[in-house]
A = this chain, B = another copy of it.
């Protein structure tokens, strides 16, 4: 299976701490890199984590609070200094457009590559990007200002050729793509070998959903049906459930409820309030509801 990973660059919330950069991640899918949110220090964390600037062509911003987008201009600027020529596509709520444009005019007047801005509608779930490997959908969230998550769905891959059968029937290499595409094989003697004997089923497509920042949304689970890995914010613990409601954030337990209701395979929690110096408090509360919960940490990598 080709890699489908999530590199956590930061998993703090509004107040950066010495333990956590603000929320930002790089989703790696079949050799391409997609950034999700881009807080202050993003370019530094990309260097530290060791993901390639050049393989990153798309950035998805959930909402325009500073801790989710202050790193954009520095990254755009640094790409330019490094001589980038490949375009960069930025998906974000429309309010970011004019600010970014003004900043680029002042700070990068001689930009050597194209930055395209794609305003996203945060109120609907729809595909906003597609290439041959995956689609990316918006997921409406419930925050203090327009905000959406992003759902990365891998496209179906082809079935696996059975090496043993290829050898048994002496099938020439020229036929392998046809067989992968579903054709039967006809031997030189005219025997028809059914396709199902020549292949093993393709790996099921994987999917990753990023949901930050949001109030607890009981209906969110329905949108996440079949998702393998869910990242859901868990700003607070049970002790601060009222604060979570007030500030449009979630508790770890609420994140776990969403994961449980959606039937995902694993849950990653993050966007920790700076008041928790030990996030295991949050982990324990989530685990009571959903056993396959993991704590995000800066520089940590998860397989989707």
Chain B proximity of A4: nearest CB distance (Å): 27
Q: Mark A70-97, 1 if CB is under 8 A from B, else 0.
A: 1101100110011000000000000100
Given the complex, which residues of B lie within 8 Å of A43, measured CB to CB? Answer: 16, 40
- Of B17, B65, B66, which one neighbours A47 at CB under 8 angstroms? B17
Of the 9-residue stretches A100-108, A148-156, A221-229, which lies at the interface with chain B? A100-108
Cβ–Cβ < 8 Å partners of A98 in chain B:
102
Given A64-B106, A99-B103, A18 and B48 contact (CB-CB distance below 8 Å):
yes
Give the residues in chain B near A103, CB-CB below 8 Å.
Answer: 99, 103
From residue A291, how far is it (CB to closest CB) to chain B in Å?
Answer: 34
Contact, CB under 8 Å: B18 / A107: no
Q: Which B residues are CB-close (under 8 A) to A71?
A: 40
A15, A18, A48, A70 — most chain B CB neighbours (10 Å): A70
Is A41 an interface residue when CB atoms closer than 8 A count as contact?
yes
Q: How distant is the Cα of A40 from the Cα of B81 in the complex, in angstroms? A: 15
**Which B residues lie within 8 Å of A44 (CB)?**
16, 18, 21, 40-41
A111 CB, min distance to chain B CBs, angstroms: 12
Identify 25 residue pairs between A and B in the complex whose beta-carbon atoms are under 8 Å apart, listed by A's number.
A14-B81, A15-B78, A15-B82, A16-B43, A16-B44, A16-B47, A16-B74, A17-B47, A18-B47, A21-B44, A40-B40, A40-B41, A40-B43, A40-B74, A41-B44, A64-B106, A64-B107, A65-B107, A66-B74, A66-B77, A66-B107, A70-B73, A70-B74, A70-B107, A103-B103
